[in-house]
Amino acid sequence: DVNGAIQLFEEVTRNDSLDLAANIRLGDLYFTKGDTSKALDIYAKTTRAHPDAWSAYYKLGLAYFAAQKFDEAIPQLQKAAELNNHFPDIFFRLGLAFDQKGDLETAEQNYRKAQKLAPAHPGTNFYLGNLLFRKRQFSEAIEYLNRSLQASPNNAVTLGILAAAYDELDEHEKSEETYQKALELDPENPTILNNYSYSLAERGERLQEALKMVQKALEAEPENGAFLDTLGWIYYNLGEYDKALDAIKRSVALRDDSAEVLEHLGDVYEKLGEHEQALTYWKKAKELEPDRPSLISKLEEK
């Protein structure tokens, strides 16, 4: 039992306060018990007593990371990496911490270091693939997501992102197959339901099926702006422009920073014959994404 083990290692460290392994084990036990504050104290004390012990900095970094104190976690993990540059999890955790802070470049560098040290690690391959997807580097994202699936083939989230990456590259057959496998594994997953339905809407295929999927997604997350945009875009493709307008206006109210959603709203107004409103929203969308080809052509036509 954890409390008994804590008593035992408290005794060991009282007798030999410099015992590195015992101090780290004691910190681990408090961490397991959920006493992160006590674990942090022990790990920090251990780094001071053993300034060359990479494992103490690593554990301290992990404890800060678990407490979501990423600014505190990063320097400890970097110190651990200086002392031991062959341990992949240090770089993986650094990648996660920088990813959480929105520093995608540094996150990518660390994920790549971790991946090089442990090429088959499903977590590293997943997070690197996911990051590359967000950076719109779809071909490379597919490579790492597939590697992650080799180790963990029934991960619906990985399959969902992989399907979206195939979709972005217009590999629709692979995308379909992958979305269907993801939904077999996790039929209630709202993000996968939404993304699959949006993919069908973009291609104008099986729109009634797409409508059912996004409605199911919205039952789980009724205030999700992306899902409301998908709903509106399906109605648009079905020619139900009043319903499309209602859904996409609700989407814009929730997330007015998406060029795609603002463009969709303009498209609906255009179909309803409200050309000035259409122009207003296309221009707003172009301010957010000046190089968006579909907007450029629409505004040139006007």
188 touches 220 (CB < 8 A): yes
For 149-162, the pLDDT digits (tens) are 999 999 999 999 99
Task: State the Rg of the chain over Cα.
Answer: 25
CATH architecture of 1-71: Alpha Horseshoe (1.25)
Q: For residue 3, what are its two tokens?
A: 């409390």
Report CA 166 to chain centroid distance, whole Å: 17
For 225-247, the pLDDT digits (tens) are 999 999 999 999 999 999 999 99
Half-sphere exposure of 158 (CA within 13 A, CB side): 22
Instruction: Say yes or no: do domains 1-71 and 85-185 share a fold.
Output: yes
In CATH terms, the fold of domain 85-185 is 1.25.40
Residues of the chain with pLDDT under 50: none
- Please state the pTM of the whole predicted model: 0.90
In the chain, domain spans:
1-71, 85-185
Tell me the three-class secondary structure of 98-128, residue by residue. Answer: HHHCCCHHHHHHHHHHHHHHCCCCHHHHHHH
